[in-house]
Structure 1
Amino acid sequence: MGDTPGPISSSPRQPVPPQTPSIETSYSWIRLAVSMALSTLGCVGMWSLVVALPTVQADFNAPRAEAALPYTFAIIGFMIGGIVVGRLADRFGILPPLAGGTILMSLGYVLTAFAPSLSVFAVISGVTIGLGGAASFAPLVADVSLWFDRHRGLAIALATAGSSLAGVVWPPIVQQAIAAHGWRQTHVGIGLFCLATMLPLSLVLLRRPVAQTAARQAQGSGNTMQSIGLSPSVTQGLLALAGICCCVAMAMPQVHLVAYCGDLGYGSARGAEMLAVMLGFSVASRLFFGWLLNRIGGLPTLLLGSAMQATALALYLPFNGLVSLYVVSAIFGLAQGGIVPSYAVIIRELFPAREAGFRVSLAISVTLAGMALGGWMAGAIYDWTGSYASALVNGIAWNLVNMAIAAWLLQRQRRHVVGAYVTA
């Protein structure tokens, strides 16, 4: 009879052995801080278009679903651009595509100010704001993961917080600027400001990963067949589907909260404040989820975060008072903070580090497809039904699919960890 297996880890993470020097240095943390700042600036397109939605709708006299198209196109641009930049970053480093993306995004904001129609505005948003801003989102997260080993979960969680910090910083600023100067002049100002700040900051990222990191990239840090018994393509595909599903659910409050508050009579300014509260609590929760990712791994954290998000989303159904909406938005922000970082950690657990730029960017960028689909879908359901209640129910259903995928992958992972332990 074989030995009785000991305690089983829920994750195949491979911590750095004590005799192996850590790749983390003070520069790693400086690089993380700069990456968060760049992401906060470069992800403005995810939020400025949300805040401008009611004004743009009135300016072009368009239905709600059509008014959401600039956001949808921009998110699609973020998704495609993130995948492309991830490939480029693996080959050339993060700096060249980041600098090029910054210039493209800044130019796009200026061009949208002169858009004669909603369709032109939407196309420019996708081709310039989305594609250009993409370099400051998923590829930056992948780059940060290459500079950490002992605190990788926390570093990834903080790196992904940049896009949420953008949601804290930008909506109130954009809301006040639009009220004072109109959305067109506001877009010109955003473009010039991002160009003047992001290019100098990006120079801090000039250094490439140290030789020790490069050696580990060549060695690899994961094997999906050994970890969960699935091929790399199937694993990546399931994670992509899970990411789309969770973000269809996530999009309804994030994309339509400002418009929802306007419909309830609270005004767009209150909606922008609620969005900032939501994302502020999301940033705060990254510290907890970063610690949790280091403790239990990516898949368990994803399942927990997804379950919390579904619960928070359901709270929007019975509560629509002004104070209660602030509270529910804060709860929703706390719940969602661990979801996106989980995908990056799962990829680093299951795939070789040399593929990090492409695979992490793909996993995170595909979640934006869910945001784009969810933003449009919620607007379309609103146009069909005249309220957001059905859109919330739709979001919860998509969230349940995400939970099912995460639970199934986690079950397979635990089964294969048991098998590997007993075989050994």
Structure 2
Amino acid sequence: MTTFLLIIIYLAFISLGLPDSLLGVAWPVMQLDFGAPLETAGFLFMTIAGGTIISSLVSGKVLNRFGTSKVTFVSVLMTAAALLGFHFAPSVVWLIVCAIPLGLGAGAVDAGLNDYVATHYKAHHMSWLHCFWGVGATLGPIIMAQFISGDNSWRSGYFTISVMQFALAVILFFTLPLWNKVKKNNALSLNDEQEDLNDVLHMSESKNVKPLQIKGVKLALISFLFYCGVESTVGLWGSSFLVNVKELPAAAAAQWVSLYYAGITMGRFITGFITFKISNPSLIRMGQIIALGGTTLLFLPLPSIFSLVGFIMIGLGLAPIFPCMLHETPTRFGKKHSQTIMGYQMAVAYTGSTFMPPLLGFTASHSTIGIFPYCMVIFVAAMLLSSEKLNALLKKNELIKSENKSSTIFL
């Protein structure tokens, strides 16, 4: 039963990744059909991201009221309807209208499923969960490319993805009772060896303190901001850097950046096995150090092949960071507020991926794309610094609370 539900959750994360990369692939054809300016795709992207940020921020209250299963079902239904709306859209205005539920649905699913897996399953499942997002993000462009290359019909591509989403919504509907059964019977809730200690550490502060007032939450949010800033900025501007600074052909640069994404996807698959031996905080630290080494290779005056190694290192380094940070949320801040904090983390993460790449692009347009590797080093270093400060703070809090507990028992 637990395994079957986990398969459903994996399928949901594939569906979460499917629409994420469709717009960029289809836009060259969509732009011609609608006669729209190039920058219209940016407005659509911002609309989707805005909806995702909003739904992530309110996801804590929504999930507490309706439960993860119902929210996931309704959210997938919303994204399916939105994609169907893209298929029928007669104008850009309708695309923008449909982009709103697409973003709202994605944010709620992301926050809800991340919290559910973090609370009820072991760390390796979180890594594999985000690996399946990569599978969806890879399949989306492949499906769209088949239709565009065939009859130049981007609408058929959106229709096909929409049908897949509706099919998942039907599966989710018929498995709604399963979620509560697993929640009651699951013996893997959090990490068994840490659950009792975690409840003790957060019992006192969870009663009266608001989520954002819990010590360390803001440092965690900073880590998420810079993580997604790095991940999305490398993906958006890495090719431009290779072409304009390293003087590579555009096709070769695109292949090198694809290896960066391959590093993230494969790295998360491998991380799932490594979590059996190494803790989340250690994996986060190792990943950040590897990513920092990769960004350093990009600005050193070395042959171009070292840039390829740098991109692969960044991808492999980033791979464990995001899923491990998400899985640590209940352990760091307690299960009582984990849903709300998870929503905040996802909202800040989407904020980083939405605004930091355009900010670097705007700065580069007034200077040079050569600032790209220096900015990446700064972003990764800021992520590492905030993460290490958080680890030190949590360790200090645990020592203090453990001492207080021992003193109380002694008295």
- Give the structure-1-normalised TM-score: 0.75
The percent of aligned pairs where both chains have the same amino acid is: 14
Q: Which residue of 2 aligns with 1:405?
A: 386
1:136 aligns with 2:109: yes
Higher helix share: 2
1:92 aligns with 2:66: yes
User: What is the correspondence of 1:364-383 to structure 2 with a 5 Å cutoff?
Assistant: 364-383=346-365
Q: Which residue of 1 aligns with 2:409?
A: none
CA distance in structure 1 between the partners assigned to 2:304 and 2:95 by the alignment: 32
Q: Which residue of 2 aligns with 1:7?
A: none
User: What is the correspondence of 1:69-80 to structure 2 with a 5 Å cutoff?
Assistant: 69-80=43-54
SS at match of 1:88: helix
1:341 aligns with 2:323: yes
Q: Which residue of 2 aligns with 1:200?
A: 171
How far does residue 422 in structure 1 lie from its aligned partner after superposition?
6.5
**Stretch deviating more after TM superposition (178-187 or 138-147):** 178-187
How far does residue 399 in structure 1 lie from its aligned partner after superposition?
2.3
1:158 aligns with 2:115: no
Question: Structure 2: which 5+ runs fail to align?
Answer: 407-411
Contact 1:72 1:376 in 2 (8 A): no
SS at match of 1:353: coil
Q: Which residue of 1 aligns with 2:225?
A: 244
Give the direction of change, closer, same or farther, for the CA distance of 1:98–1:210 in structure 2 (3 Å limit). closer
1:233 aligns with 2:212: yes
Q: Which residue of 2 aligns with 1:16?
A: none
CA distance in structure 1 between the partners assigned to 2:153 and 2:373 by the alignment: 31
AA partner of residue 239 (structure 1): A
How far does residue 140 in structure 1 lie from its aligned partner after superposition?
1.0
Contact 1:155 1:290 in 2 (8 A): yes
Contact 1:167 1:275 in 2 (8 A): no
CA distance in structure 2 between the partners assigned to 1:304 and 1:193 by the alignment: 37
How far does residue 371 in structure 1 lie from its aligned partner after superposition?
0.8
Q: Which residue of 2 aligns with 1:3?
A: none
How far does residue 92 in structure 1 lie from its aligned partner after superposition?
2.6
Give the direction of change, closer, same or farther, for the CA distance of 1:137–1:321 in structure 2 (3 Å limit). farther
Contact 2:53 2:347 in 1 (8 A): yes
CA distance in structure 2 between the partners assigned to 1:172 and 1:63 by the alignment: 22
Give the direction of change, closer, same or farther, for the CA distance of 1:231–1:204 in structure 2 (3 Å limit). closer
Give the direction of change, closer, same or farther, for the CA distance of 1:231–1:116 in structure 2 (3 Å limit). closer
Give the direction of change, closer, same or farther, for the CA distance of 1:288–1:62 in structure 2 (3 Å limit). same
How far does residue 349 in structure 1 lie from its aligned partner after superposition?
0.8
Contact 1:36 1:162 in 2 (8 A): yes
Give the direction of change, closer, same or farther, for the CA distance of 1:183–1:408 in structure 2 (3 Å limit). same
CA distance in structure 1 between the partners assigned to 2:302 and 2:167 by the alignment: 41
1:223 aligns with 2:196: no
Contact 1:68 1:375 in 2 (8 A): no
Question: Structure 1: which 5+ runs fail to align?
Answer: 1-26
**Total equivalences in the alignment:** 387
1:286 pairs, out of 268, 292, 298, with 268
User: Over residues 51-89 of structure 1, what are the superposed CA-to-partner deviations in whole Å (9 max), with x where a residue is unaligned?
Assistant: 34555677756466x643323332332232234344333
- Give the structure-2-normalised TM-score: 0.77
Contact 2:240 2:369 in 1 (8 A): no
CA distance in structure 1 between the partners assigned to 2:7 and 2:165 by the alignment: 17
SS at match of 1:337: helix
Contact 2:220 2:390 in 1 (8 A): no
